[in-house]
Structure 1
Amino acid sequence: MLVLLPPSEGKTAPTTGAPVDLTALSSPLLTTHRRRVLGALVRVSASPAAMSVLRVGPSLAGEVARNVGLRTAPTAPARAVYTGVLYGAARLDDLPDDAARERSDRCVRTISALWGVVGPADLIPAYRLSTGTDLPGVGPLAASWRRPLGRALDAHAARRLVVDCRSATYAAAWSVPATAAGHVTVAVLREADGRRTIVSHSAKHTRGLFTRHLVTRAGSEPRTPTDLLDVAGELVGTTLVDVALQDRGARGHVLVLVVRAPG
């Protein structure tokens, strides 16, 4: 399987570690475009227009200023740098055994505005950049990554079940190819008083918990959308109250995870 995650806005900046080595990151076919995006981000972050271009407010001025030194900033494994709600629930930096760590490193990938895609073990610095950015010298980032990510990920996804936890913004950067064994988008609904509604914040938490279950559970990895439904069903009665699989034809499947409303 291939589990796709969005990056987190919240990141923990490493205090020690060697600077990023673009040639050492996974998916080396992306090195040229990574270098181009990194250079453009460093330049714009040092400019008077930085806050406007990166579409952030005054409270994030320190993170934008940190972008200027990204080439020499300390790095840590991506699993420790990404620390938002989804990653706090997945806890990929705190897995129970070697088997779970091996599965996580092999199967989990984060789609990134700066790096294109990284694995949990890739050494990266903390940064501030969204894929919705129109970066001077590069252009709209989602569009700029489509061809490089296609070259890097299409073969990687072939004959594998793709479990897609990305937001729509990051999904725009790469489309799962028809050669994949299946493409399942993970959706989360909240149940209260017999009604089910879409949620946002708790959806990230639930996708994180599901990601952790996928990499820590015993047994073989799911190979089909129906297998994935069965794996999700293992959480009913604990994290979840119900699961369902929706077939969207050529657009793949949607796995619906239902959580109970608090209180």
Structure 2
Amino acid sequence: MFVFLPPSEGKAAPPDTSQSRLDLDALALPQVREQRMQVLEALIEASGRQDAQQVLKVGSTVMAEVEANRSLLTAAAAPAHQIYTGVLFEALDADSLSAVEMQRAADQVLIFSGLFGVTNFTDMIPAHRLSMGVTLSPFGDHRDPGRLASFWRSALETHLSSVVGDQLVIDCRSSTYVPAFRPGAQQTLVVNSFTQKHGQRRVVTHFAKHARGLLAGMLLRQPQLPSRPDEVAEIASAHWEVELREAAGKRPHQLDLIARAE
């Protein structure tokens, strides 16, 4: 089993006392080191431009984070699950994982990233600001990665396919990160989340992120990891009303988590 997660927009910078720095050779999937460096250099260049806010598609309130991108090669690093601070990661609650469960997370969880393509749960990374939905072309030549989703799809396809093999993938990613790598439909279970009130279902982004993080944490804490979509649905049914829809053609299995709106 693998769990695919998106990163979070919100990130916590490691303490200034941290002695760890980014080491591209130490990240999961070292075969894409060259591509990571290409994106890293383009991000540093783009973050120093006057149009950085527009290029990186961010609001004015996070421009300090964009400025910090320029120091990524020397910035402090911490485990990915500590850097990401969004709703999904709060719900997963990595701090409460046992040592065995944390090792399981390191082995089974992959976090997709505009900057790194993909990392594992415990890879040491710095806080940064870059979405997979960005197009990075600050140099205007062969050094530009361009549209990141396409760039990473090309870089990851062969190497990540070998890692994942034919194992079940529980896909909790947001739509921005899905194009970077698509496992086979028959081995993929996409997690959807809805709130229901008066018979009407709707997606609330905050609650959807929370539900996916909570489910990921539940799976990591199981005595035995699930290997089939129906086993994941059974685990989820302890917390939500669930509907499981089988894969059809290129459409993966779908697990709907349905919560009652208060």
Task: Choose which of 63, 66, 72 in structure 1 pairs with 2:65.
Answer: 63
SS of 2:180's partner is: coil
1:258 aligns with 258
2:248 aligns with 249
1:224 aligns with 228
Q: CA deviation digits over 1:11-55, x for unaligned, max 9?
A: 001122321000011111111100000000001111222111111
1:111 aligns with 112
User: Relative to structure 1, is the Cα distance of residues 129 and 96 closer, same or farther in structure 2, using a 3 angstrom cutoff?
Assistant: closer
1:56 Cα offset (Å): 1.4
Structure 1 counterpart of 2:114, one-letter code: A
1:197 Cα offset (Å): 2.1
Residue segments in structure 1 that go unaligned for 5+ positions in a row: none
1:147 Cα offset (Å): 1.6
SS of 2:188's partner is: strand
1:87 aligns with 89
What TM-score does the superposition give when structure 1 sets the normalisation length?
Answer: 0.93
User: What CA distance in whole angstroms lies between the structure 1 residues aligned with 2:8 and 2:19?
Assistant: 21
Q: Is the 8 A contact 2:184 2:252 kept in 1?
A: no
1:57 Cα offset (Å): 2.1
1:203 aligns with 208
1:68 Cα offset (Å): 0.2
SS of 1:128's partner is: coil
User: What CA distance in whole angstroms lies between the structure 2 residues aligned with 1:194 and 1:168?
Assistant: 26
Task: Choose which of 209, 214, 218 in structure 2 pairs with 1:213.
Answer: 218
1:123 aligns with 124
2:133 aligns with 132
1:171 aligns with 178
User: What CA distance in whole angstroms lies between the structure 1 residues aligned with 2:54 and 2:22?
Assistant: 26
User: What CA distance in whole angstroms lies between the structure 1 residues aligned with 2:188 and 2:88?
Assistant: 20
Task: Choose which of 187, 192, 195 in structure 2 pairs with 1:187.
Answer: 192
Q: CA deviation digits over 1:228-260, x for unaligned, max 9?
A: 112212x23xxx2x1110123122200011111
Residue segments in structure 2 that go unaligned for 5+ positions in a row: 138-143
1:102 aligns with 103
2:11 aligns with 11
User: What CA distance in whole angstroms lies between the structure 2 residues aligned with 1:127 and 1:197?
Assistant: 32
Q: CA deviation digits over 1:167-202, x for unaligned, max 9?
A: 111001111136xx6100000011212322222110
User: Aligned-pair RMSD on alpha carbons?
Assistant: 1.3
SS of 2:112's partner is: strand
1:156 aligns with 163
1:76 aligns with 78
SS of 1:249's partner is: coil
User: Relative to structure 1, is the Cα distance of residues 198 and 109 closer, same or farther in structure 2, using a 3 angstrom cutoff?
Assistant: same
Q: Is the 8 A contact 1:154 1:177 kept in 2?
A: no
Q: Is the 8 A contact 2:4 2:110 kept in 1?
A: yes
User: What CA distance in whole angstroms lies between the structure 1 residues aligned with 2:201 and 2:122?
Assistant: 37
SS of 1:105's partner is: helix
Structure 2 counterpart of 1:247, one-letter code: E
What TM-score does the superposition give when structure 2 sets the normalisation length?
Answer: 0.93
Q: Is the 8 A contact 1:17 1:76 kept in 2?
A: no
SS of 1:68's partner is: helix
Q: Is the 8 A contact 1:76 1:124 kept in 2?
A: yes
Deviates more, 1:104-113 or 1:189-198: 189-198
Q: Is the 8 A contact 1:95 1:216 kept in 2?
A: no
Q: CA deviation digits over 1:84-111, x for unaligned, max 9?
A: 010011112x133222112111111100
Structure 2 counterpart of 1:111, one-letter code: F
2:141 aligns with none
Equivalenced residue count is 253
User: What CA distance in whole angstroms lies between the structure 2 residues aligned with 1:120 and 1:95?
Assistant: 14
